[in-house]
Amino acid sequence: MTAKPLVAGNWKMNPAAANFTELASAIADEIDKIDGVVKVLCPPTVALREVATVLEGRDVLVGAQDGHPEPSGAYTGEVAMGMLGQICSHVIVGHSERRALFGETDHVVAQKAVAAIANGLSPIVCVGESLDIRDAGDAIKFVHDQIVGSLTGVDNPSSVVIGYEPVWAIGTGVSARPDVAGEMAESIRNTLMDLYGDEAALAIPILYGGSVSPENIGPYIDRPHINGALVGGASLKPNDFGQIVSLVASIRG
Protein backbone atom coordinates (compact mmCIF):
# COMPACT_ATOMS: atom_id res chain seq x y z
CA MET A 1 0.00 0.00 0.00
CA THR A 2 1.34 3.42 -0.89
CA ALA A 3 0.70 6.51 1.17
CA LYS A 4 -2.31 8.62 0.30
CA PRO A 5 -1.27 12.07 -0.94
CA LEU A 6 -1.84 14.84 1.59
CA VAL A 7 -1.50 18.61 1.49
CA ALA A 8 -1.69 20.57 4.75
CA GLY A 9 -1.80 24.34 5.08
CA ASN A 10 -0.10 25.64 8.21
CA TRP A 11 -1.46 29.14 8.75
CA LYS A 12 0.90 29.68 11.70
CA MET A 13 -0.13 32.85 13.64
CA ASN A 14 -2.00 34.27 10.64
CA PRO A 15 -3.97 36.03 9.29
CA ALA A 16 -3.44 39.04 11.55
CA ALA A 17 -6.83 40.48 10.64
CA ALA A 18 -8.47 37.32 12.03
CA ASN A 19 -10.86 36.88 9.10
CA PHE A 20 -10.76 33.12 9.56
CA THR A 21 -14.18 32.31 8.16
CA GLU A 22 -13.54 34.28 5.00
CA LEU A 23 -10.14 32.66 4.40
CA ALA A 24 -11.30 29.11 5.17
CA SER A 25 -14.29 29.36 2.89
CA ALA A 26 -12.28 30.90 0.06
CA ILE A 27 -9.76 28.04 0.33
CA ALA A 28 -12.50 25.43 0.58
CA ASP A 29 -14.07 26.79 -2.61
CA GLU A 30 -10.75 26.17 -4.39
CA ILE A 31 -10.00 22.67 -3.09
CA ASP A 32 -13.26 21.04 -2.04
CA LYS A 33 -13.82 19.27 -5.34
CA ILE A 34 -10.26 18.04 -5.86
CA ASP A 35 -10.21 14.27 -5.34
CA GLY A 36 -7.40 11.89 -4.49
CA VAL A 37 -5.67 14.12 -1.95
CA VAL A 38 -6.28 14.52 1.77
CA LYS A 39 -6.58 18.26 2.42
CA VAL A 40 -6.01 19.76 5.86
CA LEU A 41 -6.19 23.37 7.07
CA CYS A 42 -4.34 24.19 10.28
CA PRO A 43 -5.50 27.59 11.58
CA PRO A 44 -4.55 29.13 14.94
CA THR A 45 -6.12 27.37 17.93
CA VAL A 46 -8.63 30.15 18.54
CA ALA A 47 -10.10 29.59 15.06
CA LEU A 48 -10.33 25.79 15.07
CA ARG A 49 -14.03 25.55 15.86
CA GLU A 50 -14.93 28.37 13.50
CA VAL A 51 -12.97 26.83 10.64
CA ALA A 52 -14.41 23.38 11.42
CA THR A 53 -17.89 24.88 11.09
CA VAL A 54 -17.03 26.46 7.74
CA LEU A 55 -15.69 23.11 6.50
CA GLU A 56 -18.67 21.03 7.62
CA GLY A 57 -19.90 18.93 4.72
CA ARG A 58 -16.83 19.78 2.65
CA ASP A 59 -13.99 17.43 1.77
CA VAL A 60 -11.43 19.43 3.77
CA LEU A 61 -10.17 18.53 7.25
CA VAL A 62 -9.08 20.66 10.19
CA GLY A 63 -5.76 20.33 11.99
CA ALA A 64 -4.22 22.03 15.02
CA GLN A 65 -0.69 23.43 15.05
CA ASP A 66 0.29 21.94 18.41
CA GLY A 67 -1.20 20.27 21.47
CA HIS A 68 -0.23 19.35 25.02
CA PRO A 69 0.39 15.69 25.86
CA GLU A 70 -1.30 15.75 29.30
CA PRO A 71 -5.08 15.13 29.32
CA SER A 72 -5.85 18.12 31.59
CA GLY A 73 -4.42 20.12 34.46
CA ALA A 74 -2.55 23.25 35.46
CA TYR A 75 -0.90 24.10 32.12
CA THR A 76 -1.88 27.72 31.56
CA GLY A 77 -2.18 28.61 27.91
CA GLU A 78 -2.05 25.02 26.68
CA VAL A 79 -4.67 22.87 24.95
CA ALA A 80 -4.84 19.10 25.46
CA MET A 81 -4.83 16.63 22.57
CA GLY A 82 -8.12 15.26 23.90
CA MET A 83 -9.71 18.71 23.55
CA LEU A 84 -8.35 19.08 20.02
CA GLY A 85 -9.59 15.60 19.15
CA GLN A 86 -13.17 16.85 19.50
CA ILE A 87 -12.67 19.33 16.67
CA CYS A 88 -9.71 18.20 14.54
CA SER A 89 -8.48 15.20 12.60
CA HIS A 90 -4.79 16.20 12.54
CA VAL A 91 -2.27 18.02 14.71
CA ILE A 92 1.18 19.27 13.79
CA VAL A 93 3.82 18.28 16.35
CA GLY A 94 7.47 19.29 16.53
CA HIS A 95 7.35 22.06 13.95
CA SER A 96 10.83 23.61 13.73
CA GLU A 97 9.46 26.92 15.02
CA ARG A 98 8.29 25.13 18.18
CA ARG A 99 11.59 23.30 18.48
CA ALA A 100 13.63 26.51 18.01
CA LEU A 101 11.45 29.11 19.76
CA PHE A 102 9.85 27.01 22.50
CA GLY A 103 12.63 24.51 23.22
CA GLU A 104 10.77 21.37 22.19
CA THR A 105 12.95 18.27 22.19
CA ASP A 106 12.41 14.99 20.38
CA HIS A 107 11.30 13.57 23.72
CA VAL A 108 8.51 16.15 24.06
CA VAL A 109 7.53 15.74 20.41
CA ALA A 110 7.25 11.97 20.92
CA GLN A 111 5.00 12.48 23.97
CA LYS A 112 2.80 14.73 21.87
CA ALA A 113 2.65 12.22 19.00
CA VAL A 114 1.68 9.41 21.39
CA ALA A 115 -1.01 11.58 23.04
CA ALA A 116 -2.34 12.70 19.65
CA ILE A 117 -2.79 9.11 18.47
CA ALA A 118 -4.40 8.10 21.78
CA ASN A 119 -6.98 10.83 21.17
CA GLY A 120 -7.78 9.82 17.61
CA LEU A 121 -5.65 12.51 15.95
CA SER A 122 -3.16 12.01 13.13
CA PRO A 123 0.08 13.65 14.20
CA ILE A 124 2.01 15.47 11.48
CA VAL A 125 5.47 14.93 12.95
CA CYS A 126 7.90 17.56 11.69
CA VAL A 127 11.63 17.10 11.27
CA GLY A 128 14.35 18.98 9.43
CA GLU A 129 17.94 20.12 9.67
CA SER A 130 19.42 23.61 10.00
CA LEU A 131 21.81 25.01 7.40
CA ASP A 132 24.80 24.44 9.70
CA ILE A 133 23.95 20.75 9.97
CA ARG A 134 23.46 20.44 6.22
CA ASP A 135 26.71 22.27 5.46
CA ALA A 136 28.54 19.94 7.85
CA GLY A 137 27.24 16.95 5.85
CA ASP A 138 25.21 15.65 8.80
CA ALA A 139 21.65 16.23 7.57
CA ILE A 140 20.72 12.61 6.85
CA LYS A 141 21.95 11.35 10.22
CA PHE A 142 20.37 14.30 12.09
CA VAL A 143 16.94 13.76 10.55
CA HIS A 144 17.22 9.98 11.08
CA ASP A 145 17.82 10.61 14.78
CA GLN A 146 14.96 13.14 14.92
CA ILE A 147 12.57 10.59 13.40
CA VAL A 148 13.62 7.85 15.83
CA GLY A 149 13.46 10.24 18.81
CA SER A 150 10.18 11.87 17.81
CA LEU A 151 8.41 8.54 17.30
CA THR A 152 9.58 6.88 20.52
CA GLY A 153 6.56 5.17 22.04
CA VAL A 154 4.54 5.27 18.81
CA ASP A 155 3.87 1.55 18.32
CA ASN A 156 1.27 1.84 15.59
CA PRO A 157 2.15 4.43 12.93
CA SER A 158 -0.99 3.95 10.83
CA SER A 159 -2.18 7.53 11.41
CA VAL A 160 1.25 9.18 11.41
CA VAL A 161 2.27 11.75 8.78
CA ILE A 162 5.87 12.99 8.49
CA GLY A 163 6.66 16.58 7.51
CA TYR A 164 10.22 17.08 6.26
CA GLU A 165 10.93 20.78 6.49
CA PRO A 166 14.56 21.87 6.19
CA VAL A 167 14.79 24.84 8.55
CA TRP A 168 16.71 26.92 6.03
CA ALA A 169 13.89 26.59 3.49
CA ILE A 170 11.03 27.73 5.75
CA GLY A 171 9.70 31.18 4.93
CA THR A 172 12.88 32.08 3.08
CA GLY A 173 11.81 31.63 -0.52
CA VAL A 174 14.79 29.28 -0.87
CA SER A 175 13.21 25.87 -1.30
CA ALA A 176 15.31 22.71 -1.11
CA ARG A 177 16.36 21.27 -4.46
CA PRO A 178 13.86 18.52 -5.30
CA ASP A 179 16.65 15.91 -5.54
CA VAL A 180 17.90 16.95 -2.08
CA ALA A 181 14.39 16.70 -0.60
CA GLY A 182 13.82 13.44 -2.47
CA GLU A 183 17.02 11.94 -1.08
CA MET A 184 15.97 12.90 2.45
CA ALA A 185 12.47 11.49 1.94
CA GLU A 186 14.00 8.19 0.82
CA SER A 187 16.21 8.13 3.90
CA ILE A 188 13.18 8.89 6.10
CA ARG A 189 11.32 6.03 4.42
CA ASN A 190 14.22 3.68 5.20
CA THR A 191 14.19 4.79 8.85
CA LEU A 192 10.44 4.18 9.00
CA MET A 193 10.94 0.72 7.45
CA ASP A 194 13.51 -0.12 10.12
CA LEU A 195 11.09 1.01 12.82
CA TYR A 196 7.82 -0.42 11.52
CA GLY A 197 8.49 -2.81 8.63
CA ASP A 198 8.07 -2.18 4.92
CA GLU A 199 4.30 -2.33 4.59
CA ALA A 200 3.49 0.06 7.44
CA ALA A 201 6.30 2.42 6.43
CA LEU A 202 5.16 2.67 2.81
CA ALA A 203 1.71 3.78 3.98
CA ILE A 204 3.05 6.77 5.94
CA PRO A 205 2.75 10.02 3.96
CA ILE A 206 5.98 12.00 3.84
CA LEU A 207 5.43 15.69 3.07
CA TYR A 208 7.94 18.25 1.89
CA GLY A 209 7.70 21.72 3.44
CA GLY A 210 9.69 24.91 2.93
CA SER A 211 8.77 27.72 0.54
CA VAL A 212 6.36 25.51 -1.43
CA SER A 213 4.54 27.36 -4.22
CA PRO A 214 2.47 26.46 -7.28
CA GLU A 215 5.60 27.11 -9.36
CA ASN A 216 7.87 24.65 -7.54
CA ILE A 217 5.63 21.88 -6.17
CA GLY A 218 5.69 19.62 -9.25
CA PRO A 219 9.26 18.27 -9.07
CA TYR A 220 8.87 17.40 -5.36
CA ILE A 221 5.81 15.33 -5.98
CA ASP A 222 7.61 13.56 -8.83
CA ARG A 223 9.98 12.08 -6.24
CA PRO A 224 8.91 8.57 -5.27
CA HIS A 225 8.95 9.09 -1.49
CA ILE A 226 7.37 12.56 -1.32
CA ASN A 227 3.61 12.15 -0.93
CA GLY A 228 2.51 15.73 -0.47
CA ALA A 229 3.31 19.11 1.00
CA LEU A 230 3.21 21.09 4.22
CA VAL A 231 2.58 24.63 3.07
CA GLY A 232 3.07 27.84 5.07
CA GLY A 233 2.87 31.20 3.31
CA ALA A 234 1.12 29.94 0.18
CA SER A 235 -1.62 28.33 2.29
CA LEU A 236 -2.90 31.83 3.10
CA LYS A 237 -3.53 32.50 -0.59
CA PRO A 238 -6.58 30.52 -1.70
CA ASN A 239 -5.64 30.51 -5.36
CA ASP A 240 -2.04 29.42 -4.75
CA PHE A 241 -3.06 26.75 -2.27
CA GLY A 242 -5.72 25.53 -4.71
CA GLN A 243 -3.14 25.22 -7.46
CA ILE A 244 -0.77 23.31 -5.18
CA VAL A 245 -3.48 20.82 -4.17
CA SER A 246 -4.57 20.44 -7.76
CA LEU A 247 -1.00 19.79 -8.97
CA VAL A 248 -0.46 17.19 -6.25
CA ALA A 249 -3.72 15.52 -7.28
CA SER A 250 -2.78 15.47 -10.94
CA ILE A 251 0.64 13.96 -10.28
CA ARG A 252 -0.14 11.64 -7.37
CA GLY A 253 -3.90 11.28 -7.16
Smallest distance, ligand 13P to C-beta of residue 138, A: 21
Contacting ligand 13P within 122-161 (CB under 6 A): none
With a CB cutoff of 8 Å and minimum separation 6, the contacts of 125 are 93, 94, 109, 113, 147, 150, 151, 160, 161, 162, 163
Between 146 and 211, name the residue whose CB sits nearer to ligand 13P. 211
With a CB cutoff of 8 Å and minimum separation 6, the contacts of 110 are 149, 150, 151, 152, 153, 154
Q: What is the 3-state secondary structure (H, E, C) of 94-136?
A: CCHHHHHHHCCCHHHHHHHHHHHHHCCCEEEEEECCCHHHHHC
CA distance 177 to 74: 44
One residue of 170, 188, 226, 245 binding ligand 13P per CB under 6 A: 170
Number of residues near ligand 13P (by CB under 6 A): 14
244 interacts with ligand 13P by CB under 6 A:
no
Contacting ligand 13P within 5-24 (CB under 6 A): 10
Residue of 95, 97, 129, 225 marked catalytic? 95
One residue of 81, 91, 231, 244 binding ligand 13P per CB under 6 A: 231
Peptide bond into 15 cis (omega under 30): yes
Tell me the CA distances in angstroms from 176 to 92, 107, 219, 248, one per residue in order. 21, 27, 11, 17
Q: Return the range that interacts with ligand 13P (CB under 6 A); candidates 81-89, 136-144, 230-238, 241-249.
A: 230-238
For this structure, is 165 an active site residue? Answer: yes
For this structure, is 95 an active site residue? Answer: yes
Q: Return the range that interacts with ligand 13P (CB under 6 A); candidates 19-27, 67-75, 191-199, 231-239.
A: 231-239
One residue of 43, 67, 123, 210 binding ligand 13P per CB under 6 A: 210
CA distance 231 to 98: 16
Q: Taking CB positions, which residue lies at the least distance from ligand 13P? A: 232
- The site for ligand 13P (CB under 6 A) is made up of 10, 95, 165, 170-171, 209-212, 230-234
| Active-site residue set | 95, 165
